[in-house]
């Protein structure tokens, strides 16, 4: 992906798959849903394949969150890890797109859950300052992919999602997905 015309690039709604060479312990083998991207202002999103193995009720005991008690919690990224953010996701077969909304109030998240949306809670988020993400993409730290229907499925968004998404992109990416964590072991 070229970034010659900085004003025209907008990756909002895209997935960022960490390249196997990305050694950052917080982002290694991560799949990030970019919730917002503007070249001049930076980007933010949520890691969607790092479940904490906990539900909302295990982290927060507020009556207003009772309807969201069983919603799974994910590590969304290293920024503001003291905050819990709700997001809804659904796959639109008719348009072959992922509909999502982040930063939902607990009331909105509960309402969407009743409507059949996939709801997730995130501890923290991932963020990039102006030009930082573009620089990381140029440096081949991230592989850009359009979301597919697996992203809306809470069960599919486990740690295996990274490899599954890469494998779906073809033989070269399958080789990347199957590479060891430590290339010196290859």
Q: Which two tokens stand for residue 99?
A: 């509909």
The pLDDT assigned to 179 comes to 84
Query: Could you tell me the pTM of the whole model?
Result: 0.90
**Where does the chain have alpha helices with state H?**
56-59, 106-114, 132-138, 161-167, 171-177
pLDDT digits (tens, 9 = 90+) for 82-112: 999 999 999 999 988 999 999 999 999 999 9
Q: Which two tokens stand for residue 7?
A: 């004003």
pLDDT digits (tens, 9 = 90+) for 111-142: 999 998 999 999 999 999 999 999 999 999 99
Q: How far apart are CA 59 and CA 86, in angstroms?
A: 13
């Amino acid at each position: 992906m070229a970034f010659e015309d900085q004003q025209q690039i907008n990756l909002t709604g895209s997935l960022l798959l960490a390249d196997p060479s990305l050694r950052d312990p917080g982002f290694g083998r991560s799949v990030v849903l970019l919730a917002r991207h503007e070249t001049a202002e930076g980007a933010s999103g949520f890691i969607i394949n790092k479940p904490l193995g906990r539900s909302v009720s295990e982290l927060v005991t507020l009556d207003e969150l009772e309807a969201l008690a069983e919603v799974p919690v994910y590590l969304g990224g290293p920024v503001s890890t003291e905050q819990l953010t709700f997001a809804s996701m659904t796959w639109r077969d008719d348009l072959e797109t992922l509909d999502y909304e982040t930063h939902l109030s607990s009331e909105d998240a509960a309402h969407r859950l009743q409507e059949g949306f996939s709801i997730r809670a995130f501890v923290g988020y991932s963020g990039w300052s102006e030009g930082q993400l573009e620089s990381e993409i140029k440096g081949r730290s991230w592989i850009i992919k359009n979301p597919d229907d697996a992203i809306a499925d809470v069960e599919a968004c486990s740690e295996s999602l990274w490899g599954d998404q890469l494998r779906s992109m073809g033989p070269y990416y399958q080789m990347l997905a199957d590479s060891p964590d430590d290339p010196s072991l290859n």
